[in-house]
A and B are shown apart, each in its own frame.
Chain A
């Protein structure tokens, strides 16, 4: 199967390259893979995720996502690449002034879909994450678990090639966490979406085969 993400001798750093977080990492992630990335706090899990959606430029090496080399990407190309990604954050990053329905269809709005399509999709997505009755509410009126389901629905809105999730269940109780894992498993299984999740702990109840990477001492290692 083709690689969706490919890193070769990748070095990531902050502070104008002075503070290296990941050094000489090489790995490949294929289409349809479900990947967990774990590691101690401050090891660089979220940093790697930022690099994957182009928020942090590699200091050295190559990082290719969806055929786009993020070391030398032009802003317009990066914009286009991001429209094929679904990103889920620990702190949800919902737009609080927008209704739940509008938040969910943000990727469709960016892609220029008509209002009719947006409304239909909002209805479908919210039904999928069991939040239909909350469509006209604002994010701050929902619980943390519900907000994260909105975040997942938004990530799934445009059938992305890859879903990047940064501690998606970090702030949630067990019930809400299980709902989120189910949604991501379904996306991976049914749509063959590549899912890459940064987390402290791999969920105990997880039915899909998955790959596991650990970030330790600036290196990225796959656990077999």
Chain B
């Protein structure tokens, strides 16, 4: 019982860190296309008196990467149903030109305002609509959630690392006599601490297996039954074999750092 408790006290905080890492990986993958969509799907609306070319717009601002004319006929046919052909023609001739203008990168609202001002200086441009607030708020919300997740994972990681080190100190205390005897007979630090390394590495494997098990369950059992469309669509992204390697690498790195910290903090104890 004590044996299991000792190991759980080490495995659980390590799992907390690994779960955090895996959550981040999964979140990053499943939201990647959404983020891309937010960035790339953004366009501003430019209304002009005369037809304009992409080059013409790019001379006004270098951030402009694409422009797509909105078919005026489509607009007219939608707004002028039941109107005679002549009237439609008149509406069409009076209608300005509309363009969806894309940018080369994600820009803040201040930069969007600057582009708007630059474009509106052109006498042929009647109006520029950046949709800045909705674009920015969606992206900001997304970035904020991502940032919060990072902070939470980071915080959890630090707390868990402290718990791991604490547990390692308990182990060191438990093995103190053995380590002291070995030291008296001239055993080098690495040999004396060998038992700590062995136990920690064993637990790193266990923690990796358990964490991977949880995500495999989520991927193979929970996601298909969840009824959440996004989960079904992104089922493959929920856990990959390469994630297991990442988790194992992270777990081994963490435990080795923790053992080193504990072992070296008491190096050369002398009266």
Contact = CB atoms under 8 A, between A and B. Distances in A.
Interface of A: 14, 50, 53-57, 75, 78-83, 85, 87, 93-95, 97, 106-107, 109-110, 154
4 tightest Cβ-Cβ pairs between the two chains A and B = A82-B186, A83-B186, A110-B187, A79-B186
A97 B270 CA distance: 25
B270 A80 contact: no
Contacts of B180: 93
B90 interface: no
B271 A79 contact: no
Interface string B181-200: 11011111001000000000
Contact of A110 (B178, B186, B268, B271): B186
Interface of B: 177-178, 180-182, 184-188, 191, 267-268, 270-271
Contacts, number: 50
A54 B188 CA distance: 14
B270 A95 contact: no
A59 B13 CA distance: 44
B271 A55 contact: yes
A109 B186 CA distance: 11
Given A75-B268, A110-B191, A93 B186 contact: no
A223 B5 CA distance: 57
A212 B178 CA distance: 33
A23 B271 CA distance: 17
A122 to B, nearest CB: 15
Q: Which of A53, A57, A79, A94 gathers most chain B CB within 10 Å?
A: A79
A106 B182 contact: yes
Contacts of B185: 82-83, 85, 87, 106-107, 110, 154
Contact of A56 (B184, B268, B271): B271
Given A93-B181, A106-B181, 7 more contacts: A53-B184, A56-B270, A93-B184, A110-B182, A110-B186, A110-B188, A110-B191
